[in-house]
Amino acid sequence: MATTGFSDALARRIADRSLGWMDVRTKLQHFALINYAVPIDRLRPHIPEAHFEIVPFEIDNQTCGLLSVVPFLDDDFHYPRLAPFAKFSFGQTNHRVYVIDRSTGEHAVWFFGTTLGSRLVHFARSLWRIPWHHAAYDIDCQYDPDAGRYRRYRFDVKSDWCSCDIELEDTGEPVPLLEGFDSIEQQKLILTHPIEGFFYRLNGSLGTYSVWHDEIELTTAHANRLYFSLYERLDILSRDEMTKPHSILVCPETLFEVHLPPRRSFAS
């Protein structure tokens, strides 16, 4: 896709959309994208190749896919049309890989799953069979608006499915063109605007849901500590490899809308 194509696709995804009756609106605080360049062969067994292509990137002289861990605090999580006064706050972490939907050619993400620090997770699992998992969150983040960066950024997540140890150092510097990308437009579309997500439902069928958000103002960060038990268990990343991400991008707050309920994927 040419640069113009990436720009047009990004503009379409940013265009405002009306809310459905079960859609969620939430402020994501302490939002981070922790990206890893992983040899594609390690990722293929976990993604249905007939339906999704892992986006290839040339990084460190090898063809890799990009795996992304996305921690944040859901603040003011609510259903604007269904129950506008019932609001919740909890930690959340998405675990995903950047893919292309073969049926449409659109950039999307494949979810390994998600942890949530809320009992709402049990409702979602039972009703929609979505791969969300309960976790206990200890979040210690301090953003300095005058300096335009975090003074402290730490997530400690305890979960049988995926425990996380995250401590970042925010540089406050804008995001440059990262290795593996040809343009800023391509980078924005793939990294920050994959609005459609796919996953295996708990019964093994394919599911999907979508999100909407505006452009995200990000800065770059470095890792002090990073560990994710899921990737060690799946032999995707070693403990040492987890300390060496491809890139880390952070944002103090951004607004998201999540279009629910999840639905069966047409591909299943």
DSSP of 57-94: EEETTEEEEEEEEEEEEEEEEEETTTEEEEEEEEEEEE
Of 136, 151, 47, residue with least CA distance to 100: 47
- Nearest-5° Cα angle at 248, 74 to 167: 70
Kindly report the number of other CB atoms within 10 A of residue 172's CB atom.
Answer: 13
pLDDT tens per residue across span 56-91: 999 999 999 999 999 999 998 867 567 667 778 999
The pTM of the full predicted model, rounded to 2 decimals, is: 0.93
At 21-49, the pLDDT tens digits run 778 889 999 999 999 999 999 999 999 99
pLDDT at 7: 76
Say if residue 197's pLDDT is above 80: yes
CATH fold for the domain made of 3-17+25-263? Acetoacetate decarboxylase-like (2.40.400)
Mean pLDDT of 194-207: 94
Q: What was the pLDDT predicted at 84?
A: 66
Question: What value does the mean pLDDT of the chain take?
Answer: 92
Q: How many angstroms separate the CA atoms of 255 and 213, rounded?
A: 6
Between these two residues, 110 and 1, which has the higher pLDDT value? 110
For 125-171, write each residue's pLDDT tens digit: 999 999 999 999 999 999 999 999 999 999 999 999 999 999 999 99
Instruction: Provide, rounded to the nearest whole percent, the portion of the chain with pLDDT above 70.
Output: 93
